[in-house]
Amino acid sequence: MSENHPVPARRVPTADRPLPVSTYRVQLGADLTFDDVAARVPYLSSLGVTHVYLSPILTAAPGSTHGYDVVDHDEVSPVLGGLQGLRRLARAAHDEGLGLVLDIVPNHMAVPTPVWHNRQLWSVMAQGPESPYAHWFDVDWSAGDGALLAPVLGDRIGAVLARDELVRDEVDIPGLGPTPVLRYHDHVFPIRPGTESLGLAELVERQHYRLAYWRVADEELNYRRFFDVGTLVAIRVEDPDVFHATHRLVLDLLADGTLDGLRIDHPDGLADPAGYLTRLREASEGAWVVVEKILEGDEELPADWDTAGTTGYEALWRIQQAFVDPGGAADLAGLMHSVTGDPSDGFAAMAEQAKREIVDGPLYAEVYRLTSLAADICREDPRLRDHTFRSLEDCLIELLVAFDRYRAYVVPGQTPGPEAIEVVTAAATVARRRLSVERGATMDVLVDLLLGREVGSAGRTRGHRRDELVVRFQQTCGAVMAKGVEDTTFYRWTHLTALCEVGGAPERFALTPTELLAWASRAQQVAPYGMTTLSTHDTKRSEDTRTRIGVLSELPREWSALVHGLRAASARYRGGLVDGRTEYLLWQTLAGTWDADGPIATDRVLAYLTKAMREAKDRTTWTAPDEPYETAVLDLARHALDDPAVRELLTDWELRTRSAVRAATLGTKLVQLTLPGIADVYQGTEVPAPALVDPDNRRPVDAEALAARLARLDDGAGPRDLADEKLLVSSRALRVRRDLPEAFVGPSAGFLPLPHSAGNALTYARTVDGAPRVAVVATRLAAALERLGGWADHSVALPEGTWHDVLQDREVRGGVVPVAEVLDRLPVALLVRSEV
C-alpha cells in the first residue's frame, strides 16, 4: 500500500498550477495544423483526456517533419498556423474543458539549409567569436584553426574547388536584405566582411567557418551536436542569457494560460540538467514539467531534479514485460541461435561491441575532444605530465563503453553525490579489466578528474578545462548509450524484438506482476505526477506491434514451427546475402504487424527494413549503403508478402493468437491508463494501430472515423471487434480518471495491490485517502491460461462494497469473487465503487 508517504516537493507542481490527469499526444505538421487539432477537440473531450499534448511548435528548419530542429525560438511556426492559430486551438480546448501541454527542445537547434534560417548561427558564421551569439553554441574556437567546422561538402575541399562547385552569389535574406554569400548547391554561407574580393581559395580560407567533406565531422568536429547528428547544433542553455532568449515565448504562453505544462526533450544532453530544471521551475512558477529521461534498470531520477517525473519509458517496458511469458525465454533463445547464431546470453557482449564501434566511428570526434582536454590538463601539471594522450584515450574509451547509463550527475564545483561516485567507480572497475595493469594509474587520475576531485598538484580541482571535461564526458556518455545501445544493439538483438524498445531492458525478458506492482507502489511514493505511456513518436514499435510480438513468448514452440515453415516457404527466393539476424527481424516484424485484415502495406515494411538494416550497421549503414545486400533483403520481404504460402502461414498464426493478442492488447492498455502517473495516449493508439519506427508511427490518423466509432459505442452498441474493445477500454478508463481525479492524481490518490490466486491475473485498486475507489482486473498470458483450462476456481479479493463495471455496465459484488465471474465477457475489468 502506498498511502501516507509525502511526495518529494521537487516532484510536485505548485499548488495553483494546472495538473493534467491524462494527455493525448498529437504530431503537428503541415498536414496537422493547430486548426486541424482544434477540429478534433470535441472528440478528444469525449474520449476523456484532460490535456492535448503538442509536439514542438516553434519555427523549425524548412521542410521539417517533426519540429525538433528549431531555428527560431521567438516565433510559433507559420506552417502550423502561427501564434494566432495556437491561440484559436487553446480557446477551442478551454471551451471543452481541456488544456494544452507542449514538447520543447532546450538542447539543440537546427543547422538548416540554407543556414540563414537560423539567424544566431548565421551571425556566428559571419562574425566568429565576435558575434553577439557566439556564447549560444558549444564551439571550441581553439580547434579547427579557429573556425567553426561546416562538414557539408560531398567531396574533399580540394576537389570541390577544382570543380568550381563553390561560387559567390547574393541572396535577399529576410531581415538582412541583399547579402553576399558563398554558395555550394543548396547551401549558402556568409562571406566575412573584407574578404569579398579575395581569390576563391583564399576567401574560403579566411572565413570564420571551415567548409569540409561531410565525413570529416566524425573525426574533427569542433562544436557539440545532438548525438552524431551534425545538422543539430547544441546550445548552451546553461547561460542565463541563452535560457531567457530560448524560453521567453514559451514562458509567456505558460504565464498567460495558453499552456499548462511542458515536456522537456533530452535533458541529459545539457551541461547541468538539475540547474536547468531549477531555473525552469522558477521561471515557470512551478508548472507541471516532465522530462524525456531514460532510466536504466532500477535507476531513479536524480533527487535534485525539479520535475514531476519522466515521460514514461520506465513504465512502458515494465508493463510490457509483465505481459511476456518467462517460460518462453529458453525456447525463443534456441530459435534465435539457430537462425542468427547469436547466443542466449549474448546481449551484453553485443552492446559492448556496438558501443566500441560508435566511439571509434560516429563519435570519435567527441572522444578526441575529451582526450585532448584530459591531455592538456595533465600536460600543464608537472605531477600528471607522464599520463600520455594514448593512455588517456584508452582509459576514456573503456570508461565510455563500460558506462551502464546515460550519465552520472557531477556538477563542477559541487561535491558529487554517493550515487554519482558509485556509477563512475563501477564503470572504472569494469574498464580496468579490459586494460593493461600499467593503465591503472591513468585510470585513477581520470576518475578523480571526472568526479571533480583534487588530483595532481595540491589544490587543483577547478579550471576551465577540468570543468569542461567533467561536463563533456557526461554528455558523451549519453550519446554513446543512445547510439550504441538504442540505435544499434536494439536493431541487432532478436531474442524477442518487442523488448528492444526505447528505454527498455531486453536482458530482463519478463517481469512478474509482483515486480510491476512493487515498482508502481514506489512510483506512487516518489513520482506520481510523471507520465505513463505505451507508444510515443520515438518508440521503435507501437504498443500494438509489441503486443503481438510479445505473444510469441506464450507460444514459443508453435512460433518456432512457424518460423521453420516460413523459412522453408521462402527458401527458393531468399538470397544468399540475407543474414539470419535481418531475416528473423523480418518474420517477427510481419507477425507484429499482421492483424485480422492481413499485413500492413508493403512499402511500409520495406521502408522499415531499410532503416533497421542501416541502424544495425552489421552489413550496411546510412553513410555507406551496401546496395546488393539491401536489395536481397528487400526482395525477400517483397516476395514473402506476395507468396500465398507465407500469407497462409501468417494468417493462420494471426487466427491462432487472436485470443492472446486480445487479452494482451486490452490488458496492457488498461494497466497503463490506471497505474500511478499521468496517462498519455499517443495519437491513434486508442484503437489497435500496428506501426513501426518513425516516420511510420507518425502517419496521419483518421480522427473522424475514431469519433464515429466512439459515438456508436456511446450510443449503446456492443463492441464488434478488437478496435471497438480497445476504444471502449481507453475511453472508459480516461473518463474514470477525469471524473474521479482524486483517485489518480493529487495528495489523496493511492495505489493498492489486491490479492488473487491466479498467476494469470493482475489486480490492484486506486484509492482516495486510503479507501479503494477504482479496481482493475486484467488477464495476462491468455494462451497459457487457455492451456491450463481457464480460470477454474481462481478468485480475486475485491474490497468490500458494490462495484460498477464501467466496461460492461453492470454491478459486481465485493469480497472474494471468482475471476471467471468478473472476466466473463472481456479479459479486463474496470470497476468503480458505487457507494463510498
Once rounded to an integer, what is the mean pLDDT over residues 578-600? 98
CATH fold group of domain 9-107+237-311: TIM Barrel (3.20.20)
In this predicted structure, what is the pLDDT of residue 49? 98
> Is residue 835 scored above 90 in pLDDT?
no
Once rounded to an integer, what is the mean pLDDT over residues 109-120? 95
* pLDDT confidence bin for 2, thresholds 50/70/90: very low
- Residue 640 CB contacts under 8 Å (≥ 6 apart), including other chains: 566, 569, 570, 573, 586, 590, 646
Helix axes 34-47, 722-739, angle to 10 degrees: 80
* pLDDT confidence bin for 309, thresholds 50/70/90: very high
In this predicted structure, what is the pLDDT of residue 543? 98
> Is residue 227 scored above 90 in pLDDT?
no
The bridge status of strand 771-779 relative to strand 761-768 is antiparallel
Burial class (CB in 10 A: 0-12, 13-18, 19+), 708: exposed
Q: Grid coordinates representing 239?
A: 547561460
In percent, the amount of the chain with pLDDT more than 70 equals: 99
**Sheet with 761-768, edge to edge strand ranges:** 749-753, 761-768, 771-779, 828-833, 795-805, 810-818
Q: Grid coordinates representing 472?
A: 563533456
Q: Rounded CA gap, 369 and 820, in Å?
A: 63
* pLDDT confidence bin for 574, thresholds 50/70/90: very high
Once rounded to an integer, what is the mean pLDDT over residues 652-663? 98
Which tens digits make up the pLDDT trace of 684-693? 999 999 999 9
> Is residue 1 scored above 50 in pLDDT?
no
* Full-model pTM: 0.96
Q: Kindly list the domain boundaries of the chain, sorted by start residue.
A: 9-107+237-311, 115-234, 351-490
> Is residue 732 scored above 50 in pLDDT?
yes
How distant, in Å, are the alpha carbons of 198, 199, 206, 658 from that of 202? 6, 5, 6, 69
Which tens digits make up the pLDDT trace of 766-820? 999 999 999 999 999 999 999 999 999 999 999 999 999 999 999 999 999 999 9
In percent, the amount of the chain with pLDDT more than 90 equals: 93
In this predicted structure, what is the pLDDT of residue 223? 80
In this predicted structure, what is the pLDDT of residue 230? 76
> Is residue 458 scored above 90 in pLDDT?
no
Is 669:744 a contact under the CB 8 Å cutoff?
no
> Is residue 166 scored above 60 in pLDDT?
yes
- Residue 642 CB contacts under 8 Å (≥ 6 apart), including other chains: none
Provide, for the chain, the percentages of residues in helix, strand and coil under a 3-state DSSP scheme, each rounded to the nearest 5.
50, 15, 35
Residues in the chain: 836
At the top level of CATH, the class of 115-234 is alpha beta
Give the 3-state secondary structure of residue 598.
Answer: strand
> Is residue 143 scored above 70 in pLDDT?
no
In this predicted structure, what is the pLDDT of residue 6? 84
In this predicted structure, what is the pLDDT of residue 138? 87
> Is residue 750 scored above 70 in pLDDT?
yes
Cite the DSSP H helix spans in 192-328.
200-205, 217-220, 240-255, 273-283, 313-322
Strand residue runs (E) in 273-408: 288-291, 309-310
In this predicted structure, what is the pLDDT of residue 353? 98
Once rounded to an integer, what is the mean pLDDT over residues 254-283? 97
Handedness of CA 171, 176, 178, 180 (dihedral sign): negative
> Is residue 836 scored above 70 in pLDDT?
no
Q: Rounded CA gap, 107 and 117, in Å?
A: 18
Average pLDDT, the chain: 95
